[in-house]
Chain A
Amino acid sequence: KQEVTQIPAALSVPEGENLVLNCSFTDSAIYNLQWFRQDPGKGLTSLLLIQSSQREQTSGRLNASLDKSSGRSTLYIAASQPGDSATYLCAVPTQGGSEKLVFGKGTKLTVNP
């Protein structure tokens, strides 16, 4: 059974700092990995999707990497801003299926001005 873990549960940094969020999964046979952002009281917004054949995916100040063999992904945020404050979640499709995602519990990021 696939399990997804995100450590730390919360992170507080000063504005301008570069930071890394971590995601690990137990079964490396994944199709892809997605990173989402959730603002308080809101739904999830898809940030990046990395296919299993890719090692990196970039969007603006965000860079996500994937190491399937070690069961890890990182989300790198460059030059953090207070507007980046949110909860970041990662998710992978369940083993053998294409209809369901397994989510981590997220990392709550606070960027202090």
Chain B
Amino acid sequence: SQTIHQWPATLVQPVGSPLSLECTVEGTSNPNLYWYRQAAGRGLQLLFYSVGIGQISSEVPQNLSASRPQDRQFILSSKKLLLSDSGFYLCAWTPPGGGLVSQPQHFGDGTRLSIL
């Protein structure tokens, strides 16, 4: 069966510090991978998605970036965090091929990021 892992679960960082959040998926190959941010009262915001190694699509201009160095690994990074980067970050995946046309999306447990 497939599983998705996100870490860390919680993170407290000062403004201006770097960020690296990691997500890995097991039990499948070439998944579509996603990073979302969930802020209070604003719903889920898609930040990045990837349909393959090195293929990253950015949805929102910001000081965050994403990379996919391996097939089942997705990393969210920042060089300098802003206060507005606080939130709940979720990684998700869907099977390859039909994508969201016919397949449900599966989420990790999330990372709660607080910027001080």
Contacts and interface: CB of A to CB of B under 8 A. Distances in A.
Interface of A: 31-32, 34, 36, 41-46, 49, 51, 89, 91, 93, 98-101, 103-106
B79 interface: no
A31 B112 contact: no
Task: Please classify how large the interface on chain B is, using the bins under 10, 10 to 19, 20 to 34, 35 or more.
Answer: 20 to 34
Contacts of A46: 104-106
Nearest to B111: A43
Interface of B: 6, 32, 41-44, 46, 49, 51, 57, 59, 88, 90, 92, 98-110, 112
A45 B105 contact: no
Contacts of B107: 36, 43-45
Given A99-B51, A103-B44, A104-B43, A31 B104 contact: no
